[in-house]
Amino acid sequence: MNLCGKKLRTRANAKYDPPGLHHCFREAGHDGACAEFPYLDHLKEVAPRVAAKIVRDATKTTGASWKSEDAGPNRISRWTMLLSDADLAKLGVNMKALKPWVIAKLREKAASYDDCMSAAQYLTWSVYGMTGAPAPDDATRAFITSRFGEVVPGATGCLVCRAPLHFALFEEARRGKAEIETAHAMPRSHTAGNVGFAHRNCNIAQGDKSLDQFYEWIAGILTRAGRI
Amino acid sequence: MNLCGKKLRTRANAKYDPPGLHHCFREAGHDGACAEFPYLDHLKEVAPRVAAKIVRDATKTTGASWKSEDAGPNRISRWTMLLSDADLAKLGVNMKALKPWVIAKLREKAASYDDCMSAAQYLTWSVYGMTGAPAPDDATRAFITSRFGEVVPGATGCLVCRAPLHFALFEEARRGKAEIETAHAMPRSHTAGNVGFAHRNCNIAQGDKSLDQFYEWIAGILTRAGRI
């Protein structure tokens, strides 16, 4: 599928974005208005919180729950964190005032606009492959299958534990934390090929390790515990 | 070793304790004053933060860092959480005002005074078995070996991953969290035979699972990931 690619007017909430950053992701030659996330229109209707989570996880450094005073600029775009301290200072973001671990947490989530867009598209495709997920409408299916192949219900596993992920988990939360989180095979690589949804417990267990490191680590545990 | 066992005057900071709860753990027939944690005297001199951590982890429901408004009564004794809501109300602790997950977090840490004392003794013994730990003085060695056997430097492993635990990790912290935590083989059983120190990441990965469940869980992950 060829995409329109027309530049979009910068949105009101994207105050740190340079002009012309956002693009249209509808099919080339489309009717009507341009749109950045046309493939989320269906989820916005049937599961709006899931659609919002995809945009947030794909494009923002931190989620809604991270509200402590130490948090720094919350919900800032991942691509903004690619800018230098000097350029950020011009935008009114004083990185030097933040604690080192807050800076690290923000900087490690930096990703280009294109990578964030591809991550959002991949996460959307993977949602429709979850057990119990709604079937996409025709327009959505056409878009996501053109990017990542057929949507197979039940095929989406947790990125970490590889067990099936149930769409209903999006609605479950314990102690205010959603049971599904966005995980990364390599913690600092935010691309379609590297992101995926995971059980919260699995994402927590993986921590800041890569998936390869995690699997090696738990294999070592089982060996030392005499289990394998 | 036979213990003195004489009842101690309730300490000023133990405002919820019934009279006569605290006992002396010095050897029977000892000279001088009674003491509840005589086996910690040495660590109090050479590593006071470690000694304080042992007392805190062994006897309190929550640690110092848990200071949010939702936290409920912080640093309350584990044995106090064995009391009924009605008895706690008489002591001025209104459990009904707390959020369900806070109540669960407090109640799941309930343990008897005797179990807490044995946990403190075991944790002390395990500290002296860590790589790089100071050697205990004679009095301390006599006490802890009489309870749990010889102290073998380097023999103490992480309860979860079984790799050696380094005493120096007590002084390390990331993002304000100590790198060593007290872990439980069975999450709700706070006894000498069930507690141990663990790497923070290991304790987090274990989560609310028992060690057996944790090992089964990660074995399943490795199987599904094609690693075993």
Q: Tens digit of pLDDT for each residue in A191-208?
A: 999 999 999 999 999 999
Q: Assess whether B103 and B131 both reside in one domain.
A: no
**Secondary structure string (H, E, C) spanning chain B:** CCECCCECCCCCCCCCCCCCCCECCCECCCCCCCCCCHHHHHHHHHCHHHHHHHHHHHHECCCCCCCCHHHCCCCCEHHHHHCCHHHHHHCCCCHHHCCHHHHHHHHCCCCCHHHHHHHHHHHHHHHHCCECCCCCCHHHHHHHHHHHCCCCCCCCECCCCCCECEHHHHHCEECCEECEEEEECCCCCCCCCCEEEEEHHHHHHHCCCCHHHHHHHHHHHHHHCCCC
Min Cα distance A172 → chain B (Å) is: 14
Could you tell me if A173 lies within 8 Å of chain B, comparing CB atoms? no
Q: Does B207 touch chain A (CB under 8 A)?
A: yes
Partner B contacted by A219 (CB < 8 A) = yes
**A116/A90 same-domain check:** no
Contact A101 B218 (CB under 8 A): no
Q: Please judge whether A161 and B224 are an interchain contact, meaning their C-beta atoms are less than 8 angstroms apart.
A: yes
Residues A161 and A205 in one domain: yes
Instruction: State which residue of chain B sits closest to A100, comparing Cα positions.
Output: B175
Contact A11, A22 (CB under 8 A): yes
Closest approach of A146 to chain B, Cα-based (Å): 27
Q: Looking at the predicted structure, is the pLDDT value of residue B63 above 90? A: no
Residue B67 has pLDDT above 70, yes or no: no
Q: Does the beta-carbon distance from B227 to A215 stay under 8 Å?
A: yes
Q: Give the pLDDT of residue B64.
A: 40
**B143 with B77, same domain?**
no
A170 sits in which H/E element: none
- Pick from B106, B172, B222, B223 the residue to mutate for testing the A interface (most A CBs within 10 Å): B222
Residue A170 φ/ψ, nearest 5 degrees: -60, -30
User: Which pLDDT value is given to residue A68?
Assistant: 54
What's the mean pLDDT in A46-50? 95
From B157, which residue of chain A is nearest by alpha-carbon distance? A224
pLDDT average, residue stretch B30-53: 96
Full DSSP string of A187-200? TT--STTTEEEEEH
pLDDT over threshold 70, residue A31: yes
Nearest CB to B161 within list A163, A202, A224: A224
Greater confidence, A105 or A121? A121
Query: What residues make up the domain containing B192?
Result: 39-61+112-224
* Shortest CA distance from A211: residue in chain B: B225
pLDDT at site B13: 54
B45 and B152 belong to one structural domain: yes
Q: Are B174 and B189 members of one domain?
A: yes
Report CA A180 to chain centroid distance, whole Å. 12
Smallest CA–CA distance, residue A51 to chain B, in Å, is: 28
Asked whether the beta carbons of residue A224 and residue B163 sit closer than 8 angstroms, the reply is yes
A63 pLDDT tier (thresholds 50, 70, 90): very low
Same domain, A116 and A157: yes
Average pLDDT over residues B157-186: 90
- Using DSSP bridges, classify how beta strands B180-184 and B195-199 pair: parallel, antiparallel or unpaired: antiparallel
Q: B163 in contact with A at a CB cutoff of 8 Å? A: yes
Residue B223 has pLDDT above 80, yes or no: yes
pTM of the model: 0.90
Model confidence at B68: pLDDT above 90: no
Q: What distances in angstroms separate CA A34 from CA B159, B165, B215, one per listed residue?
A: 56, 58, 51
pLDDT of residue A101: 81
Instruction: Check if A225 contacts B (Cβ < 8 Å).
Output: yes
Dist CA A214 CA A160 (whole Å): 9
pLDDT for B83 equals 94
Residue A9's pLDDT band, with cuts at 50, 70 and 90, is confident
Of residues A10 and A45, which shows the higher confidence score? A45
pLDDT of residue A74: 66
Predicted local confidence at residue B17, as pLDDT: 86
Of B204, B215, B219, the CB nearest to A204: B204
How high is the pLDDT of residue B69? 54
Average pLDDT over residues A5-17: 77
A101, A157, A222 member nearest B219 (Cβ): A222
Cβ neighbors of B123 (< 8 A, separation 6 or more) are B54, B57, B58, B182, B195, B196, B197
Q: Is the Cβ pair A174, B101 closer than 8 Å?
A: yes
pLDDT grade for A10, boundaries at 50, 70 and 90: low
Give the nearest chain B residue to A222 (CA atoms): B215
Q: In the prediction, which pLDDT does B174 show?
A: 67
Residues A120 and A215 in one domain: yes
- Taking the CA of residue A216 and the nearest CA in chain B, the distance in Å comes to 9
Asked if A61 and A78 touch (Cβ cutoff 8 Å), the reply is: yes
Question: Is 50 exceeded by the pLDDT of residue A65?
Answer: no
Q: Give the Cα separation of A221 and B198 in Å (integer).
A: 12
pLDDT digits (tens, 9 = 90+) for A151-167: 999 999 999 999 999 99
Residues B129 and B205 in one domain: yes
Of the listed ranges A155-159, A176-180, B42-46, the one predicted with least confidence = A176-180
**pLDDT at position B101 over 50:** yes
- Same domain membership, residue A145 and residue A55: yes
Identify all chain A residues contacting B174, using CB atoms and an 8 Å cutoff.
101
With 80 as the cut, is the pLDDT of residue B6 above it? yes
Are residues B133 and B51 part of one domain?
A: yes
Tens digits of per-residue pLDDT, B75-97? 789 999 999 999 999 988 888 88
pLDDT tier at A149 (50, 70, 90 boundaries)?
Answer: very high
Residue bearing the bigger pLDDT, A101 or B13: A101
Q: Are residues A93 and A191 in the same domain?
A: no
B204/chain A closest Cα distance in angstroms:
7
Q: Does the pLDDT of residue B14 top 70, yes or no?
A: no
A33 reaches B (C-beta below 8 A): no
Q: How many domains is chain B built from?
A: 3
Q: Quickly state the pLDDT bin for B66 (edges 50, 70, 90).
A: very low
